[in-house]
Structure 1
Amino acid sequence: MTAAKDKMKGKVNEVVGKGKQASGKPSTRAEGRMQERKGEAQQVKGRAKSALKDQIDKA
């Protein structure tokens, strides 16, 4: 997956996760927290890929 896709999917997961956290059901709120964390991790992965590509391109 490309860095841009990782970042985009990460942002979508964060937004959906935040929406689930607004639920009145505890299990859905917990699922939302996990999905938000997954999104954050995907964004970190995307940023790392971008940084690595930039370093390779400079070399």
Structure 2
Amino acid sequence: MIVSREIEIGDKKFSIETGRYAKQANGAVMVRYGDTMVLVTAVVRDEAKEDQDFFPLQV
């Protein structure tokens, strides 16, 4: 299911859309403002590793 919301901020459109991209991720949103687009994704594991004492970050 694709969900999209859009509003005007100043003279530009601001939109958020989910359900279209990165379907293997646990969550994904495409955010647009004017000519700028950002895809934000999140993936989680069902179980935490017991011996892991840091939070891995991938960019």
By the TM > 0.5 criterion, same fold? no
Q: Which has the higher helix share?
A: 1
Q: Which has the higher strand share?
A: 2
TM normalised by structure 2 equals 0.23
TM normalised by structure 1 equals 0.23
Q: Name the structure, 1 or 2, with higher relative contact order (CA <8 Å, separation 6+).
A: 1
Q: Which has the larger radius of gyration?
A: 2
